[in-house]
Amino acid sequence: MRYENRQSPEGINVTEHNPVAHLLKLLAAAVVIIVLVVVLANLFASRLGRLIPFRYEQALMQHVTYDFSGAGSESVAMQEYLNTLVQRLSPLLEVPEDIELNLHHNPDGVFNAYATFGGNIVFYNGLLGQLPHENALAMVVAHEISHVLHRDPVAGLGGGLASMAALMALTGSTGAGAVGNLLNKTGMVAQMKFSRDMERAADRAALSAVNQLYGHVNGADELFKVLYQLSGATAEQETTFDAFMATHPLHQERIDAIAQWAAENGWSTAGEITPLPENYYDWL
């Protein structure tokens, strides 16, 4: 018997392939799948969420109390003023009878306002104190009411949960490594798109109401101008990258959108600014 080792050619156990092309192909396919699944899950769940009757939201929130007293400020006067604004805006926004809006004034310095389940809307002192006139405040109030009308809190929660679940099911096997991380981030970015769309829709509805209230939309974009200044960002700093990662559209984009909608609908952008009540800043 003769024993020898003959050399076998290369490339039998190792597949000849272009690794970079392979990576790009797989990456593109994975991103497309993730985005598609998140979008579908979100569409489905947010639509489903909006089908839930509003009174279920109210029932859910009836035991939640919004007690922000403790700062001891005259928040009652502020609350009343905000309520009159809501009453003036409600018919313009065509708020249905079954939707009940509850306004809350939080004396915290946080620069924020949000709408949540059961028609509850919270305004923070941080935001209220930065507004120079009533037109700006009306825009904010109308924006938050629009969120309630569009059922955005429940749609957002449903869509968010559904896309989370879809993402987890998809990327569960890839785990917490670089791949799982990347795919999850991609899913989040896709999810953010829905949040921004909701903001845009609320802005649009609010602008229309403000136009009806004052006969013009002058000053409606004031909030975003203030936000823009506060963020300290220059136009160069707000990059396309940030735009993809944010829950809200960029401030400049919202200002531009307001101007565009006004132009499209022939709403006047010049008009008399309505000042805030005399004691407004004392109520903060």
Partner 1 sequence: MFEIVSFLVLLVVGYAFGSLAERRHYRSIQKLEIEFNSIPAIASRYPPVDKAYQQQLVVGNVVIASDYFKSFLAGLVNFFGGAVVSYESLLDRARREALLRMKKQARAVGADYVFNIKYETTSVGSGRLASIEVLAYGTALTPSGISIPANPGS
Footprint (CB under 8 A) of partner 1, residues 132-151? none
DSSP string, 186-241: HHHHHHHHHHHHHHHHHHHHHHHHHHHHHSS-TTTTHHHHHHHHHHT--TTTS-HH
The answer to the question of residue 241 lying near partner 1 (CB under 8 A) is yes
Q: Which stretch binds partner 1 (CB under 8 A): 2-10, 86-94, 215-223, 226-234?
A: 2-10
Footprint (CB under 8 A) of partner 1, residues 178-217? 178-180, 182-183
Contact with partner 1 (CB under 8 A): which of 65, 69, 173, 240?
173
- 17 versus 63: smaller Cβ distance to partner 1: 17
- The span from the CA of 183 to the CA of 30, in Å, is 8
The answer to the question of residue 20 lying near partner 1 (CB under 8 A) is yes
Q: Which stretch binds partner 1 (CB under 8 A): 158-166, 172-180, 194-202, 253-261?
A: 172-180
Q: Nearest distance from residue 17's CB to partner 1, in Å?
A: 5
Footprint (CB under 8 A) of partner 1, residues 68-127? none
Per the listing, tokens 């924006």 go with 143
Contact with partner 1 (CB under 8 A): which of 175, 215, 275, 277?
175
Q: How far is CA 111 from the centre of its chain?
A: 15
- 7 versus 65: smaller Cβ distance to partner 1: 7
- 146 versus 171: smaller Cβ distance to partner 1: 171
The answer to the question of residue 237 lying near partner 1 (CB under 8 A) is no
The answer to the question of residue 29 lying near partner 1 (CB under 8 A) is yes
20 Ramachandran zone, left/alpha/beta (phi>0; psi -120 to 50): alpha
Of 123, 121, 115, residue with least CA distance to 75: 123
Contact with partner 1 (CB under 8 A): which of 53, 70, 72, 177?
177
Token duo for residue 247: 């829950």
Of 107, 125, 116, 19, residue with least CA distance to 58: 116
Contact with partner 1 (CB under 8 A): which of 102, 130, 174, 252?
174
- The span from the CA of 64 to the CA of 58, in Å, is 10
The answer to the question of residue 62 lying near partner 1 (CB under 8 A) is no
- 109 versus 175: smaller Cβ distance to partner 1: 175
- The span from the CA of 189 to the CA of 182, in Å, is 11
Contact 120, 61 (CB under 8 A): yes
The answer to the question of residue 240 lying near partner 1 (CB under 8 A) is no
- 28 versus 51: smaller Cβ distance to partner 1: 28
Q: How far is CA 103 from CA 38, 69, 74, 157, 235, in A?
A: 33, 14, 15, 21, 34
The answer to the question of residue 19 lying near partner 1 (CB under 8 A) is yes
Give the total of residues touching partner 1 (CB under 8 A). 30
The answer to the question of residue 18 lying near partner 1 (CB under 8 A) is no
Q: How far is CA 117 from CA 12, 25, 50, 173, in A?
A: 62, 43, 12, 35
Contacting positions for partner 1 (CB under 8 A): 1, 3-5, 7, 10, 13-15, 17, 19-20, 22-23, 26-27, 29-30, 170-171, 173-175, 177-180, 182-183, 241
